[in-house]
Chain A
Amino acid sequence: MTPTSAAPTAEDARVAAFEARIAAGESIEPKDWMPERYRKQLIRMMSQHAHSEVVGMLPEGNWITRAPSLRRKMSLIAKVQDEGGHGLYIYCGAETLGVDRHDLVEQLLNGTAKYSSIFNYPTLSWADMGVIGWLVDGAAIVNQTILAKTSYGPYARAMIRICKEENFHKRQGYEIVTTLARGTPAQRAMVQDAVNRFWWPSLMMFGPSDTDSPNSGELLRWKVKRKTNDELRQRFVNLTIPQVQAVELTVPDPDLHYDATSGNWEFGAIDWTEFNQVIRGNGPCNKERLDARRAAHEDGQWVREAATAYAEKHASRATEAA
C-alpha cells in the first residue's frame, strides 16, 4: 500500500472476508456478497463457455444427415442435444449472477461475444466427428473436471452435471476413430488427416500460455480456476498420447517426446498467431458459424411465438372458467 492511500474502507473489509471464505474452501452462492470483479470475470467465463456449447453443436450438426449408419446417427443426435443442454445449464448458472440470458444470446448473435476457437474450424470428413468427440470433448473434459471444483457454486454444479455426460461424447468419438483406424487404407488416411487438422487447435483450447494469460493470477487466487492453462494442456497431452499410440496414429508434432524425469509428453511450440487470428474472428468458419446460429435463431421465432400464444390462450381460458 502506498503512503497516500486512504485507510481501509468497508469495501476492503468485505473483500478480505470474501477472500478468507475462498481460502477456507467455501463455495460462493448467488446471494452472497462478492467483489464486482469476481462477478464480472464469472459472467465473462460462463457466458463464453455457454456460447461454446451452443456453437459447438454446429460443426457436428453438419454431419447428422450424413452419418454412415443409424447407430452413428443416433449417437450424434444425442451428443448434439447434450451440447445444447450444456449451453442451457451454464446460461442458467450465469443468470444467477444477475445477467439476462436474452442479453447473452444477443451478444452471441451480434458477434460481440467470444466462444471457443476450436469451433471455427471446418468439419471436412466423417472422421472429424470421431476426432472431435475424442480430442475436443476430451480436452473439454480435462478443463471441466477441474472447473467442477470452481469457487462459484452454480458454475461448479453445472460442471458436475456436464462431466457426467461428456464421457459418452469422448467414447463415441474414440470408437469412431478406432473403427476407422482399423479399417481400409483410405479410412486410416482419412482419420489421420482429421487428427492432423485438429491436434493443434485442440491444444489451443486451453487458452494462452500462462506467461501470456493476464487474468490467470486473480482467477487462481479466487479459485475460479484451480489449474493454469499450461498445466491443463500438459495433462491433456499426457492422457491422450497413449490413446493415439493404441490406435497406431500419430500427431503432427516432430518435437513430441517423452521426458522420463517429469513424466510428461513434451510437445513443440504452439502457433499463437493462428490462435489470435481465430479468436479475433478471422478463422476459417467464424462467419459461417454465426450465420448458421442467426438463421437457427430466426427460424425458431415462430416456435417461440406459438408457445407464447398457446400459454396466453390457456391462461385466458382458465380465467374465463373461474
Chain B
Amino acid sequence: MTDSQWPLWEVFTQGATGEPFEHAGSVHAADAEQALQNARDVYARRGEAVNLWVVPSTAIVASAPSDAGPFFEPGNDKAYRHPQFYKVPKGVKVF
C-alpha cells in the first residue's frame, strides 16, 4: 500500500492587506494547488489571512546559525547608520 506523505510546503500568511507575509508553518501536498487548499484549511480557519503563499520547502535557502556572528557582523559596527550617531544643536527639534 503506497502511503506517501507528499512533498512539504512552507506556508506564509498575510493577515491584512498592506501587512508583510509571515511564516505560519508547513503542509504536505501533492501539488501547489492542493498545498494552497491545505494551507487555507490548516492556517486560516478564522480569517487569519487575506493572502497565502506556499513555497516548496526545498526551495528555501537559509543562513546557517553556526556562522550567524560573522555573517551579520558587517551590519553590527556601523553606528553611523543610525540617526543617534549625529549631533544636533541643543533645543532644536529635528524630527
> What is A's interface to B at a CB cutoff of 8 Å?
29, 31-33, 78, 81-82, 85, 88-89, 92-93, 95, 100-102, 105, 157-158, 161, 165, 301, 304-305, 307-308, 310-312, 314-315
A residues within 8 A CB of B4?
102, 304, 308
Within 8 A of A (CB), among B36-63: 41-42, 45-46, 62
Cα A100 to Cα B45 in complex, Å, equals: 25
Q: How far is the CB of A45 from chain B (nearest CB, A)?
A: 18
B interface residues (Cβ-Cβ under 8 A, vs A): 1-6, 8, 24-31, 33-34, 41-42, 45-46, 62, 64-66
Chain B's closest residue to A301 (CB) is B1
Residue of chain A at shortest CB distance from B31: A311
* Chain B residue at smallest Cβ distance from A31: B65
Residues from chain B with Cβ under 8 Å of A158 in the complex? 25
Expressed in whole angstroms, the minimum distance between the Cβ of A311 and any Cβ of chain B is 4
Nearest B residue to A314 via CB reads B31
B49 to chain A, nearest CB (A): 12
Give the distance to chain B from A270, nearest Cβ to Cβ, in Å: 35
Are B3 and A304 in contact (CB-based, < 8 A)?
A: yes
Given contacts A307-B6, A308-B2, could you give 20 more A-B pairs where the C-beta distance is less than 8 Å? A29-B65, A88-B42, A101-B5, A101-B28, A102-B3, A102-B4, A102-B5, A105-B5, A157-B25, A158-B25, A161-B24, A165-B46, A305-B2, A308-B4, A310-B30, A310-B31, A311-B30, A311-B31, A314-B33, A315-B31
Q: In the docked arrangement, what's the CA distance between A85 and B25, Å?
A: 11
**A63 CA / B8 CA spacing, docked (Å):** 33
Cα of A184 to Cα of B8 in the assembled complex, Å: 52
Q: Are A82 and B45 in contact (CB under 8 A)?
A: yes
Q: A307 is contacted by which of B1, B30, B45 (Cβ under 8 Å)?
A: B30
Q: Which residues of A contact B66 (CB under 8 A)?
A: 33
Quick check: A81 and B45 within 8 Å, CB to CB?
yes
- 14 A-B Cβ contacts within 8 A? A82-B45, A85-B42, A88-B42, A89-B25, A100-B5, A102-B3, A102-B5, A105-B5, A304-B4, A307-B6, A307-B29, A308-B2, A310-B34, A311-B30
Q: Which residue of B lies closest to A305 (CB)?
A: B2
Residues in A neighbouring B26, C-beta threshold 8 A: 92, 95
Rounded to whole angstroms, the CA-CA distance of A85 and B46 in the bound complex is: 12
Provide the residues of chain B in CB contact with A310, threshold 8 Å: 30-31, 34
Q: Given the complex of chains A and B, what is the CA–CA distance between A312 and B45 in angstroms?
A: 28
B27:A88 contact, CB within 8 angstroms: yes
Chain B: which residue is nearest A88 at the CB level? B42
**Interchain CA distance A311-B65 in the complex, whole Å:** 35
Contacts of B41 in A (CB 8 A): 85
CB distance A85 to B45 under 8 Å? yes
Asked if B34 and A307 sit within 8 Å, CB to CB, the answer is yes
Cα separation A307 to B37 with both chains bound (whole Å): 12
In the complex, the answer to whether B1 meets A95 with C-beta atoms within 8 Å is no
Q: Which residues of A contact B24 (CB under 8 A)?
A: 161
